[in-house]
């Protein structure tokens, strides 16, 4: 039981994440299904926390900008629309293997992705990579154990 808690906790920590925790959990003999579920939930919860916290800071900064009377230019608004339409899916899907899910979410929000868009794409990405890491590890581990 404690080992499964460590899987959950490891997936929640930004530098460990699902790419390391899932293979380690499965290779150590834990149930692949439970490792994948707990790693997904652990990683997603901390990413959601990051998204919520970022939005509060962003709202505070925007309220200060409005008090100063400065708004975004038309060019900035158009850039944000393009980023929200195409940028977040690519960042979210590559993030877990390139820079990590937490950093990918932070960068997306920093570049202007909406909270909803970031949440949707990060959830999809974490789910896909959880399945990829889990299935590949379980199948590969089974292959080596059966053929040893």
Q: Residues 57-104: pLDDT tens digits? A: 777 767 777 776 666 656 556 546 656 777 899 888 888 888 888 888
Q: Residues 24-40: pLDDT tens digits? A: 999 999 999 999 999 99
What is the predicted pLDDT for the residue at 78? 58
Inform me whether the pLDDT recorded for 132 exceeds 60.
yes
Residue 84 lies in domain: 2-146
Q: Residues 108-120: pLDDT tens digits? A: 888 888 899 999 9
Neighbours of 122 (CB within 10 A): 28
DSSP state for residue 13 in the 8-state scheme: S
Cα–Cα distances (Å) from 20 to 7, 14, 17, 66, 82, in that order, read 10, 11, 6, 43, 33
Contact at 8 Å (CB) between 29 and 141?
no
Q: Predicted confidence band at 55 (pLDDT cuts at 50, 70, 90)?
A: confident
What is the predicted pLDDT for the residue at 24? 94
Q: What is the pTM of this model?
A: 0.78
| DSSP-derived secondary structure for 110-128 | HTT--HHHHHHHHHHHHHH
Inform me whether the pLDDT recorded for 147 exceeds 70.
no
The sign of the torsion formed by the CA atoms of 2, 48, 104, 95 equals positive
What is the predicted pLDDT for the residue at 104? 85
Tally of domains in the chain: 1
């Amino acid at each position: 039981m404690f080992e499964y808690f460590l899987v959950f906790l490891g997936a929640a920590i930004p530098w460990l994440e699902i790419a390391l925790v899932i293979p380690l959990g499965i290779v150590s003999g834990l149930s692949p299904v439970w490792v994948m579920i707990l790693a997904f939930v652990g990683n997603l919860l901390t990413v959601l926390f990051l998204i919520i916290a970022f939005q509060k800071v962003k709202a505070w900064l925007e309220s200060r900008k409005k008090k100063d009377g400065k708004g975004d230019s038309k060019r900035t608004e158009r850039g944000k629309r393009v980023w929200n339409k195409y940028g977040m899916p690519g960042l979210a899907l590559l993030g877990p293997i390139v820079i990590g899910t937490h950093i990918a979410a932070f960068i997306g929000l920093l570049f202007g992705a909406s909270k909803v868009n970031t949440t949707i794409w990060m959830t999809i990405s974490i789910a896909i990579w959880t399945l990829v890491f889990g299935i590949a590890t379980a199948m590969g581990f089974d292959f080596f154990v059966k053929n040893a």
